[in-house]
């Protein structure tokens, strides 16, 4: 019986070490921040809680997201984002220049996107 317990403990320790070490050998890709490329500018999408946007603060629709790429890639041409989905509306914000800030509507929520220069 003593040998069986010792063998079992050895087997369990070996198994735990094999599983633990195999996870360390994988390369982890970190997602990039949420971004949209709009009119030659990269905009970084802020958390919806960053600043509360109400519908009455929205000015006019200026377009929509035309393509969504993988979250590990950087958008490189107009209308492409690495978050949301195709067809999400893009608006200006009253009193703000679109070169500084745009607003994306996604599932009845509004998300602020600030230009990279901000």
Buried b (16+ CB within 10 A) or exposed e, 5-35: eeeeeeeeeeeeeeeeeeeeeeeeeeeeebb
User: Length of the chain in residues, anyone?
Assistant: 118
Q: pTM of this prediction?
A: 0.69
pLDDT tens for 1-41 read: 455 777 666 666 666 666 555 444 333 344 788 999 999 99
| Whether domain 22-115 has CATH 3.30.420 | no
Calculate the dihedral angle through the C-alpha atoms of 37, 40, 46, 52, rounding to the nearest 10 degrees: -110
Residue ranges per domain, the chain? 22-115
Least confident of 42-51, 70-79, 88-97, 104-113: 42-51
pLDDT tens for 61-86 read: 999 999 999 888 999 999 999 988 99
């Amino acid at each position: 019986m003593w040998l069986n317990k010792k063998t079992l403990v050895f087997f369990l320790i070996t198994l735990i070490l094999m599983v633990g070490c195999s996870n360390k050998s994988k390369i982890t890709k970190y997602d990039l921040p949420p971004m949209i490329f709009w009119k030659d500018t990269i905009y970084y999408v802020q958390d919806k809680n960053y600043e509360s946007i109400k519908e009455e603060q929205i000015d006019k629709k200026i377009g929509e997201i035309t393509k969504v790429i993988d979250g590990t890639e950087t958008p490189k041409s107009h209308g492409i984002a690495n978050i949301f989905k195709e067809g999400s509306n893009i608006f200006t914000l009253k009193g703000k220049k679109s070169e500084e800030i745009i607003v994306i509507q996604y599932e009845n929520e509004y998300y602020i996107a600030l230009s990279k220069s901000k």
